[in-house]
Structure 1
Amino acid sequence: MTHDPLADSGLPDTPEARRLALLAEAGELLSSSIDYPTTLRHVAQLAVPMLGDLCVVDVLEDGRLQRTATVHVRPDKQVLLDRLVRLHPRIEGSPTPAARAFATGRIDWLEIVTPEIVASHTIDENHAQLILDIGMRSHIALPMIARGHTVGVLSLGITESDRRYGRADIALAEELARRAALAIDNARLYRTAQEEITKCTRVEAELRRSEQRFRALVEQSPLSTQRIAPDGRTLYVNPAWEALWSLAFDKLHDYNVLEDPQLEASGIAGRLRRAFAGEAVQLPEIAYDPDRTLPGRAEDPSVRWVRGYAYPVRGIDGGVEEIVLVHEDVTDARRAEHRLRESEARLERALAIGCMNVWDWDLERDVVTCSANAVTFFGRRIGRTEDFRDVVHPDDHARLDAANRAAIDHGTTLDIEYRLCSPDGHERWVHSIGHVDLRPDGRPARLLGITRDVTERRRAENAMRLLAQASETLGASLDYETTLNDLARVLVPQLADWYAIDLLTPEGELERVAVCHPDPERIAMARALHERYPSRRGAGQGAWHVIDTGKPDWRETIEDAQLQRAAHDEHHLALLRGLGLRSYLVVPLQARGATIGTMTLVHAESGRHYHEADIELAMDIARRVATAVDNARLHRALQDADRRKDEFLAMLAHELRNPLAPISTAAQLLQRAPDDAPRVRDAAAVIGRQVTHMAELVDDLLDVSRVTRGLVEIEREPVDLADVVAGALEQVRALIDARRHALEVSVDAEAGPLIVEGDRARLIQVIANLLNNAAKYTPPGGRITLRIDGDGPHARVVVRDTGGGIEPSLLPHVFELFTQAQRTPDRTQGGLGIGLALVRSLVHLHGGEIEAESAGPGQGSTFTVRLPRAAVSAVPSGPAPAPAPSPDPALRRVLVVDDNIDAADALAEMLRLDGHAVVVAGTGAQALEIARTNPRFDVCILDIGLPDLTGHALAVQLRSIEATENARLVALTGYGQPQDRADSAAAGFDVHLVKPADLLQLLDIVGANAAP
């Protein structure tokens, strides 16, 4: 509704009177109440229709323009105006005139409102349409300003007439807006004053209550509280202070806190002075002994740990009137903290010793709290799960995430092993066990657990597994070339990306017998690379370095400088670089104290590195490899020896049958033509030659046996090598002539006397054996040369023939026992395999060397013997003097004892032909009976191996019988070792002869003057 302010004023009805009446009534309304929203609505009603057809008042409340009043002269358009307010309650920052007036603090005057102006001064199309529907024709918006601040906007508009706002209207509206602004400001000031008065009343009451609470708090507080005057006197202490120090307040009249030596020494006094200067000061923990400074204390605990604060208390003038000292007894806490630190230290030591870390994962905040050794354990600080993931091996992320998720989602125990990666590339295995704590509502709150380093356990388990697999593989076959390649599948890629085995050959070269890599093409490339660029000795690294030192060679990281040292040339270096080698480990293969090869392990594509802990595992595998190779070689050697033994026995049988055939034939001839003297002599000659051959064969066997057992003693004396050669030629001349060989002997005259210290008979045996072999294995009509010369400090004998030669595969083994050439069906080639073995042993016993050379089958052979030369002053001994002829034997009574009746009878007949009386016995008992029943025997010839008692025992008993006590006792046996001769002498024998004995020697012994 509208109101006419002139109706009750009594003023004439003029425009000026109406303006004055309006302002007077508006002023009365605005000053009548501090409820300015209501008065503003009344003022708006007063302004319509005198100042316009509509009036809108917006007031600034809490930083926003709030629409306080809207009035239109027409009710139907009042509805439109109210809708405008609902649709657009906020106008700040909009192009509307009210917003512009509020923003600029100036009047926004639209004298004529056109549709274009409406479009540019509205918020949107709906807003513009409502303005057009209201029928806005002229408009003014005036800021309401009080004390320099815009407190709202008064908007007026003409919609029902063609009247336009002019300057007079603006002046009246501006005055109305000013008065409204003052009313709003006064109302607000009054409200503020009332609020301050109410607040002060409340504060005063609260202060009184606070003082009461503070007094009660201080009196009842467990904290020691002390009020101190600026001169250091104590003004007040609460009961907690008295209880803490066991001292009543009235005892402190002589105590001055600023003169306390303990507080001065600890720096507390200085801090208290700062508090008196107006600064609130925190006092650090100190140990205070009240017995030193506080008088009249009751007996109670002495030293206490305390900490506190000093607060200045200011008077009305702002000066510090006193300070309040509040301190807390932290003795128990200090002791508990000390115990806690000790406990934590023990825990940390236990965690460090046990290689463990304790952690607590707050699932809601995603914060991980670890025990203090986290940096040492994980290699970095752990605060969030991202930190933890950074140290977990990438290949284990998914598995660990799944385990964590399962534990969190299902409340199960976390139990998993995974790998950690340190910044330097080291991998470690850890074992985490954790448990989920739940909130009261059942949701997971945290995951707590412990992580333990299990690298050594995993390494031990892997090592045991690898060693078991390696042992199984190596033990599967004695073919070590196959098993070493099979071993590669065990070690690659578990222990290495590259694997190689190199073995020393008998010639001292390195042979690569196995190489492996997951990529077969790389294996072929590696073999080709090794063949083209074999390992070099003296490089200070690699296989040869390990062979020479017997120690492992490893590099955690292969530097380019090492590749450069290993490379033969630039091309080789480029190939090595292209392999991407990261780390290597070379270990010796050692068996029975000797290094037989190396095992090489290399990391490349995997990016792994070898560490010192890997050496022991590699050495253990290497020991097993070396043992397997050595056992396989020993097995092969045993098989070879067994084969050579079988061949030797077959050849020995052949060699023994050869002389038996003519002996058998000669024996039959003697039976069939006993009276044909020429035939008997020829047959006897055949038998003699074959027996001699068999005796030589047996002597060779015995010599080999004695040499291999170390029983041969060399009787050293100066010997001229030319005499030795002459003696050897005398022994083999008949065979050389029989096979029609051309023999050439030469002596280097410029070499001077070729004197050696040695056993003349044994040296003749050596040269004769070499000449005998040359004669035997050279086809009839061949050529044999023997040269004697000097070779520095050695005398040298070289025997060369044009015979069958030696297979290259046989050449390294030609001096081994029982080594024989390939047999022909008639066994005309190849010997027993003992001659050259005996030769080498005899040469070594003389400190010399022997070597064999041959270009192959059919190319002949050369044997070279080198012996140390003796001093020139040494005088060689000549050949042994021929034995003096024996006198004619006188008739002797002889007892022959042998269980081989044929041998005993044959010997008896020979002795009888020489004129001796002979009695034969087949056993020891018969011999004793004969000795007891005969008056005398001059000679007793006894076999040692009798069936009933030994020849030694028989000899002892014969010495106790009168008929034989002075007889010459002769042992005739197949045993001819030095110990056998010693045993015979101990039993009382005068002579020890080895079967078959030289009959002439035996006849001389039986003769009266024969010497043994």
Structure 2
Amino acid sequence: MVHKLAPRLGSEEHVADTVTTPARANGTQSLPASSQQRFFQSTIDALPAHIAILSERGQIVAVNRAWREDSERHYAPMVRGRVGDWYLEQGEDDVTSGIQAVLSGTQEEYAIEYRGDYQEDWKWFSLRAAPLDYADSRCAIVTHEDVTRRVEAEHARSEADQALDMLAQAAPLAIIALDIDNRITAWNPAAEEMFGWTRAEALGRFNPIVPETDVPQFLDIVASLADDATNLTDVELHRQRKDGVVLDVSSSIAPLRTADGQIRGSMAVLTDITARKREQEDQRFLAEASELLSSSIDYETTLTQVAQMAVPRLADCCMVHLLESDSSIRRLAVAHADPERQELAQQLKDHGRLQMNGAWGVPVVLRTGEPVIYGDINSRLWDTDNEQIEHIDILRNLGMSSLMVVPLIAREQTIGTLAFVASESGRVYTGSDLDLAMELARRAATAIDNALLHHDVRQAEMRLRTLVEHVPAASYTAQADDLRVMMYVSPQMGLQDDFSADDLIADPGLWLHMLHPDDRERVEAVMLACSASGEPLKVEYRIVSADGQVKWQYDQATLIRDEAGQPLHWQGVCIDITDRKHTEATLRIRARQQAAVAQLGQQAMGDIDLLTFMD
């Protein structure tokens, strides 16, 4: 059984091109001499292919050793017959017709590849017939070769190419191949979806996804593939869609080579990382904003700086509005990306105050606490608010085309807004822009809340300090690990202008110096023991002023801890007990005097009794 492919005419070099009869070599038409005949026979015998010479009528006039041996053992269907046999009478119709066409001169060459059954094994063979001048007549040289290995390799390569093509078609990543001139030769469905060009539109074009400004970089990359013969992995590049939108992509690029190793083009696998890059940029922007917001408790100043940060990252113009206690709207800050337009934008800040009954924009957000996006500003929107015509005229002059307003919410109250205006950039705000703006507003509102809390705490501290400083007792705050080191001292701790409260804080040793020498060692030991144990301090001692005046004090302190039980500081109070001590001393003296008088009285009574007895 014989399987044949379509004839291949003049498709490849073949052994017949190397065979020349001695007569042709000498330029003669005479019959070859015996030596020439032997030379010719030796030549074709040395060739590995099966070779047969056919006369003009198709009779075999010569064969080489390979033909002779393999025809006897039926090596292949087309290798048959001995010298003198009529070859064409035994062959397939199309093969016979092809060889006859060569013999008649109507066809210069005939070639066919077929699959034959050889010893229960299928093999691929190639048969070729070409004209040959032999013995003054037009003959044909028939060459026959086993091409199984080549055909199977081609089939395997074809199957691999088909598998690769199927993989490329199904792959979720854009796969693009270029020829040596950087024209598209492969363009899978993912590339169509990512960049917008269909396969038919892309094939044959110079790489259309490279922005004009990036062409030099692209050519350098292609040249590096040829020079270094290495692959490039995860190269971050800018590539553009059919609609002109520029994408951030991660590209892995490899050279394509011919069978002999020559570079014939390149292939790239591209991943759209635009969203990832934007997320990274958003996080960097928010981190910078948070650092700025936490740098000061003056939230009005930091909000002004945030507005300046937002351009041009989020807007061409950014405005900050705060809701006042009288329900009017104060425009705190205005920043524009274009310095030449900053003066015009500043007119918004200087142009009075917005009213809460406005029909759109900032007033709506302040009333509802919900963000709004106006993706496309049109005349109908302008016309809905006749109360603020001058304000609208300024926005028109700024070229506002899209607007996004988000609330600033602190303590569950809407206290202001951030407004983002798009104009020259042509940006149209979407949900992803709103997510970033809302997060920025949340952090700004947190900073405002912290500032308000700090203000409240400071007010409470001032009220408490005022109260403390107007009571007769003196109070102090000391370090958690050492009662001797003061952190705060009320003014009452000073003694007759000898030392101020600030002096006691600045010099921890000053207080010990003020203690009476007889009390100093005892009191310091008690304080160190309480500092180590955390037990409450209760101690009485004397303080000596610079003029030698001695005063008694009662000192009591408690260690303050946080919710986790960790020490924060000591909170103490000192009470002047000098009068009490003097009273106690006076009472003791009077008691002793009374005791002495009583004793003298008793003694006198005894003396009287004695005299009476003697009388």
> Normalised by the size of structure 2, how large is the TM-score?
0.47
Q: Which has the higher contact order (CA 8 A, sep 6+)?
A: 2
More strand by share: 2
> Normalised by the size of structure 1, how large is the TM-score?
0.30
Higher-Rg structure is 1
